[in-house]
Structure 1
Amino acid sequence: MNAKVTVRGKIRLIQSRRSYKRRLNITEALVGDATGTVKCIWFNQPYLSKQLKIGQEILLAGVLKPSNYGWQLDNPTYEPVSGARLHTARLVPNYHLTGGLTSRLVRRLVYAAMPTVNTMPDWLPRSVLKKYSLLNLSTALKLVHFPTKTEDIKSARYRLAFDELLLLRLTALAAKKDYALKPAPVIPFSARTKQFVSNLPWTLTDDQKKSAWKIINDLAGAKPMNRLLQGDVGAGKTVVAGIAALNVIDAGFKVALLAPTEILAAQHFATLKKLFNNFPITIALFTRSQKNISQSDKVSKKNIVDDLAKGKINFIVGTHALLTDNVAVPNLGLLIIDEQHRFGVEQRNWLIKKSVTTPHLLSLSATPIPRSLALTIYGDLDISLIKELPKGRRPIKTEIVSEAGRAKAYQLIRTEVLADHRVFIICPLIAEGDTLGEKSVQEEKLRLEKNIFPDIAIGVLHGRMTGKEKNQALQNFAQGQTPILVSTTVVEVGIDVPNATVMAIEGAQNFGLAQLHQLRGRVGRSELPSYCLLMADGQDQDNEAATGLWIDFAHHPELVEGRLWYPPLLRRNPP
């Protein structure tokens, strides 16, 4: 049978004994009614033989299975028939546990606290409750913990989610109002902007032009800009940020760019050096392992800190390493934050607090967030969208690969390598046995070298490597010495290899939408046809539906605003 059941009966026999062979204390009970009996076994709970009495009527919940002595329940949940039903014969809440707590104990404590909920005032007016069909707060709190039916859970969660989103929105609006009251440097339009744009080896898209113009107008205002520039990977956000930076620098102020990883910071540094190649602008890179200034060969941390203090550096690019006590950017006019959701509020404010005036703030994001959701999460920011990709870019073909389709996927990878293109293969783990039994970088490299691509050099990249080792691995990959790179998600931001055409993601069901989207953005960065292969294990219809949802979301986020309840998108058991 092996089915989950709840049974009611009287204890006919109960005793504890010591199993010296298995080093366990075993408590056994026989529970029955007029229809029959069931044997119950608990391990290492000897106190039960004293707590539960013969003749006592109890409820039991567990998995019923056959044994040599009839039906049996192993380690069933139990509680007396008399008294409140907390653990059996109802919808039972399960809580995240820590520090030796048990769900049973947490349920008892929550239930004991329930009377205080009745005295809790509801901060929402009745008109709002009626308008949005919301439960009152006390009822929602009771039902979210102890519902009587599944509809209770949905109604309670709806009310609590409404509260959370409303508070988030109100907090964002208050922050926006407070930020607007602070003084900011007025940045006039720089005549060199036209020269900068004309020097570009490509033509700006209409969306880039519109976004840049909005930013320039914001900079010219007396209140600080606080804008989110959202665009797909490779849409050209850095160029737009460069236009803003040029105007700020020409007005006599400094610019700082914060990136969440060293790889991304180094990528920005290299890109900005090319963009400002014909301009007398000093750009510096400051991360934990890399220190560089555009006009110098070798520099130290002290060199950069001193040059910042003296105003010799116009544009500083860095990671969290910039957020230390001894690093300050005087006369900061513009702070650019890439993937700003990776920085906390205090971290974002660190450089701002050190500046005499309030700098303008430009946040960059490549995650395709629907506008209504973006306004909720980033309600304190104005939003600019870059929807167009640069001319010549082709859509990335995204496919889910079943176990039966692996041979075809590997043939595609071989074909691309023979065409002198590059291939990423992403694994969730670094080493075998880390957790969950998912594929790891190290074991997958060995498997591919031995069984699939014995004639192709394969490189590895992961977070346990030093900065020097990472840079060497990326250099070997870009130059074709190792045309296949097996990596963790360390490559999800900041890797720009134009002839990379395949992104194969092992265990794709383990990743969320933002990660999948960022990983896919590592390919399709030129006019070459590119592919994203989702190698999801244990495929079923739910996973395939979730994959389709992600693909729709990536291209048309406005179409799926109401379906954002899949984190991660390819999970094995979606709710």
Structure 2
Amino acid sequence: MNIQYLKGVGPKRAEKLKKLDIFTVEGLLNYFPVKYEDRRTVRKINELSDNLKCLLKIKLFDNPVKSRIKKNMSIIKLVGKDETGFITATFFNQDFLMDKLFIGEYYYIFGTVKAAYGKFEMVNPEIELCRNDWKANKITPVYGLTYGLTNNELTKLTMEALKEYYDKIEEILPYNICAEYKLISRKCAIKNMHFPENGRKYKISKKTIAFEKLLIMQLGLMSIKGNLISNSAGNQILNTTHSDKLIGYIPYKLTNAQLKVIEEIKKDMSMKRPMNRLVQGDVGSGKTVVAIYALLTAVASGYQAAMMAPTEILALQHFETIKEYLAMADINLNVSFLSGSAKLKDKRIILEGLKNGETDIIVGTHALIESNVEFKNIGLVITDEQHRFGVRQRAKLSTKGKNPDILVMTATPIPRTLALMIYGDLDLSVIDEMPPGRQKVVTNVLKEQDKQIGYNFIKQQVDEGRQAYIVAPLIEESEGMELNSATKVFNELKDTYFSGYELGLLHGKMNNTEKEEIIKRFYEGKIKILVSTTVIEVGVNVPNSTVMMVLNAERFGLAQLHQLRGRVGRGKDQSYCILINESRSKKSAQRMNILRSTNNGFVIAEEDLKLRGPGDFFGTRQSGLSKYEIQNIVNDIEVVESVQQISKKLMTENPYLKGEEYKKLKNAIIRLFKDETIIFN
């Protein structure tokens, strides 16, 4: 049912809920809390300590006092007591409370205690008359919110949805699977995900929901793969004349891992069914030359080939690299570049060249999947940084010809257990060996107050003729978030620490022409220090840059930090990564130490998996599930492994999911992968 028609919603609130991707009552029931507050225990005032978050039952001791500090700020102070002591509560800009506070009445207050000199205070706690408080003595949910929507509103709407629709929640998993893996009913799991009765009920509910969502995703991906293998006739691509010539001209020896992956690709391409292969390799492991080998094999066999990257910066980088390799091996082919920012006249010429077959290789952004792009005879499609493209976008490219071979590349290392699930519709190749001579980047972690040591080191490196990156997590300063923004850092540094140096600023909100100009000037050495957001995470290759400094490093995932570190260490000079960790948490220090101790992306991914659970590895677009759903419910690798086990068993014994007990599961898979070919459709 449309969320607008749930009691208490209406058109205005429905618009706010849409910002959270909640369009239906089912969507609301699947919008699980990000955390919980335990209000089951009412504390006594004499039990309190500093920084304790708790629930108190107090009697209002005296008339509340309201005062105005300045024009737009008012304060209400009240004193409450229980049989063990007194506490002060302070409220900022909450004038409406004055009509709800009465001497002698009992209230529940919930908040964080500040303790000093034997006195206790709560600032802006939640306060409610005891007889009206519907949250007291319960575990209460805390949801991700959007502007204009409070946690109380969302909680009450969820309660209403459960009250009205609880009995209509359908089971998706067959009884035999639930029994085998000790799962509970779907309706009970959903209720306890929002309002857990206790820790044990919450744990089994989370396991049930995670199991269901992962099983739907895994069976869908396996089905797509099964359909591609059994039903699709592909192109036999056999001619390696150009590719082998290229290998002969490359001034270095390919690693055994690269050669192994090339053999896997050659074998796939020579078969009559389409290739669907993922090449996973760490930063700098040499995926590009493997991709070019495949492109040249396709062209020599009489086909056109395409390479798609998520950003114009990365696409341009690939375009230039391909041209360099072809020139090196004296192979004369027509290679074109297409992006959304291409001029209309140039675009028309490029599109014509693709349609009439003059263009051999096309490199570009998602502009390649637009409807006006037609190929004469496309035989191979390569997509880079797959986690930025989804199954659907890749499928769109594959419809441009007669089932072209698909090769997907990613520099984001994922533990093999998860890779088999996330990329369930692809065969997996791993380049797990680094080319000889690739230097290890020295990584150091500094506290915020020691940032200047890092700046001085950058100055030293630049004075010796090298270049540096400084990465900040935001573009502009965000209200309420104490984070370094790229524009703020750039403006501060050019006037203070680096006033005599050439600084550049790069971020995603710049148009493509501006970005290209900044990168070109950095590449040419005209900019010595580039202040940037993570837009440089992929596709910026400047061998002379030797320092990567990341501000607020605790805000980034380990895989992302590893990617950023991979921007340096590409030349002959020793390179360095400086992580500024502004968090005091033990977990944050552990994560930074992982990066300091190893440069191996696969080791980092495995360690990250132990620390954070599998949720963060699932790419939103790839899996069909939202990042929100996955990160909040999938934190147990055992669930992932159980789902893999049952998925393989089902696809072997009952690939079409026949039988009444599988009907709901089958429909859920078809709904999730509605744009894909599911074999039991």
Correspondence 1:151-300 to 2 at 5 A: 151-180=200-229, 181-277=231-327, 278-290=330-342, 300=346
Alignment of 1:374-413 (within 5 A): 374-403=419-448, 405-413=450-458
Matches within 5 A, 1:412-451: 412-432=457-477, 436-451=481-496
Residue deviations 1:443-480 (CA, integer Å, cap 9, x gap): 43344344434443222222343433333322322232
Bigger mean CA offset, 9-18 vs 472-481: 9-18
Structure 1: distance between partners of 2:111 and 2:482 = 27
Q: Which moved more, 1:241-250 or 1:176-185?
A: 176-185
SS at match of 1:401: strand
User: Structure 1 residues 132-141 or 305-314, which shifts more?
Assistant: 132-141
Instruction: Tell me if the contact between 1:263 and 1:494 (Cα under 8 Å) persists in the aligned partners.
Output: yes
Q: Deviations over 1:416-440 (max 9, x none)?
A: 3234222111122334567724223
Of residues 91-100 and 255-264 in structure 1, the stretch that sits farther from structure 2 once superposed is 91-100
CA contact (8 A) 2:69 2:75 kept: no
Q: Is the 8 A contact 1:189 1:216 kept in 2?
A: no
After TM superposition, give the deviation of residue 167 of structure 1 in Å: 1.7
Distance 1:35 1:417 in 2: 64
| C-alpha distance after superposition, 1:291-311 (max 9, x if no partner) | 79xxxxxx7111111111111
Q: Tell me the CA shift for residue 197 of structure 1.
A: 1.0
Q: Which stretch of the first structure deviates more once superposed, 226-235 or 409-418?
A: 409-418
Local SS of the residue matching 1:276: helix
Alpha-carbon contact 1:392-1:527 (below 8 Å) kept? no
> Is the Cα–Cα contact under 8 Å of residues 422 and 478 in structure 1 kept in the other structure?
no
Matches within 5 A, 1:21-170: 46=96, 49=99, 59-63=108-112, 76-78=125-127, 86-98=134-146, 100-114=148-162, 116-117=165-166, 120-170=169-219
Q: Note the 1:452-531 alignment, pairs <5 A.
A: 452-531=497-576
Report the residue type matching 2:295 in the other structure.
A
**What is the rounded CA distance, in whole Å, between the counterparts of 1:143 and 1:168 in structure 2?**
23
Q: Structure 2 regions of 5+ residues with no counterpart?
A: 1-49, 618-631, 636-681
Identity %: 35
* 8 Å contact kept, 1:285–1:317: yes
> Any conservation in 2 of the 1:330–1:354 contact (CA below 8 Å)?
no
Letter in 1 for 2:538: V
Structure 1 residue 330 and structure 2 residue 376: aligned? yes
CA shift in 2, pair 1:142/1:79, >3 Å: farther
The 3-state SS of whatever aligns with 1:186 is: coil
Distance in structure 2 (CA, Å) of the matches to 1:66 and 1:558: 41
Name the aligned partner's letter for residue 141 of structure 2: P
TM-score (norm 2): 0.73
TM-superposition CA deviations, 1:30-56 (whole Å, max 9, x none): 876666777777765759947x99987
Letter in 2 for 1:380: D
Q: Which amino acid aligns with 1:283?
A: V
> Residues 12 and 396 of structure 1: is their aligned pair in 2 closer, same or farther, counting only changes over 3 Å?
closer
Alpha-carbon distance in 2 for matches of 1:559, 1:461: 31
Distance in 1 separating the partners of 2:221 and 2:300 = 32
SS of the residue corresponding to residue 196 of structure 2 reads coil
Deviations 1:90-119 (A, max 9, x none): 321111233633222322232334354456
CA distance in structure 1 between the aligned counterparts of 2:95 and 2:397, rounded to whole angstroms: 56
Aligned length: 560
Q: Is 2:601 the counterpart of 1:554?
A: yes
TM-superposed CA distance for 1:79, in Å, is 5.3
Go from structure 1 to structure 2 and tell me whether the alpha carbon gap of 1:91 and 1:249 turns closer, same or farther (over 3 Å shift): same
Distance 1:504 1:26 in 2: 43
In structure 2, C-alpha distance between the alignment counterparts of 1:9 and 1:559, rounded to whole Å = 46
Aligned with residue 542 of structure 1, among 569, 584, 587 = 587
Q: Is the 8 A contact 1:143 1:153 kept in 2?
A: yes
Aligned with 1:6: secondary structure?
strand
C-alpha contact (below 8 Å) 1:77/1:87 kept by paired residues: no
Name which of 380, 388, 392 aligns with 1:342. Answer: 388
1:563 is matched with which residue?
611
Determine if contact 1:77/1:88 at 8 Å carries over to the other structure.
no
Measured at CA, do residues 471 and 435 of structure 1 come closer, stay the same or move farther in structure 2, by a change above 3 Å?
farther
Deviation at 1:441, TM superposition (A): 3.0
Structure 1 residues 496 and 258, CA, compared in 2 at 3 Å: closer, same or farther?
same
- 1:398 is paired with a residue whose SS is strand
**1:173 Cα offset (Å):** 0.5
Deviation at 1:2, TM superposition (A): 6.9
Matched to 1:541, the amino acid is K
C-alpha separation between the residues in 1 aligned to 2:69 and 2:504? 52
SS of aligned partner of 1:452: coil
Q: Which residue of 1 aligns with 2:639?
A: none
Contact 1:228/1:363 (8 A) holds in 2? yes
State the alpha-carbon separation in 1 of the partners of residues 311 and 300 from structure 2. 28
**d(CA) in 1 for partners of 2:499, 2:85:** 64
Does the Cα contact within 8 Å between 1:86 and 1:108 map onto a contact in 2? no
* Contact 1:190/1:250 (8 A) holds in 2: yes
2:357 partner amino acid:
G
Distance in 2 between residues matched to 1:30 and 1:451, nearest whole Å:
48
Q: 1:426 to 1:434 in 2, by over 3 A?
A: farther
Residues 79 and 88 of structure 1 are in contact (CA less than 8 Å); yes or no, is this contact kept in structure 2?
no
Check the 8 A contact 1:232/1:387 in 2, yes or no.
Answer: yes
C-alpha displacement at 1:274, in angstroms? Answer: 1.4
SS at match of 2:541: coil
Note closer, same or farther for the CA distance 1:168–1:86 as it changes in structure 2 (3 Å cut): farther
1:311 paired residue number: 357
> 1:127 Cα deviation (Å)?
4.7
Specify the SS of the correspondent of 1:535.
strand
Cα drift, residue 224 of structure 1:
0.9
**In the alignment, residue 263 of structure 1 is paired with which amino acid?**
I
Is 1:10–1:33's contact at 8 Å kept on the other side of the alignment? yes
Q: Distance in 2 between matches of 1:173 and 1:214?
A: 20
User: Residue 564 and residue 224 in structure 1: after superposition, are their counterparts in 2 closer, same or farther (change >3 A)?
Assistant: farther
When structure 1 is superposed on structure 2, of 34-43 and 3-12 the one drifting more is 34-43
- In 2: Cα distance, 1:508 partner to 1:524 partner: 19
Q: Is the CA contact (8 Å cut-off) linking 1:59 and 1:89 kept in structure 2?
A: no
Question: Counterparts of 1:464 and 1:368 in 2: how far apart (Å)?
Answer: 28
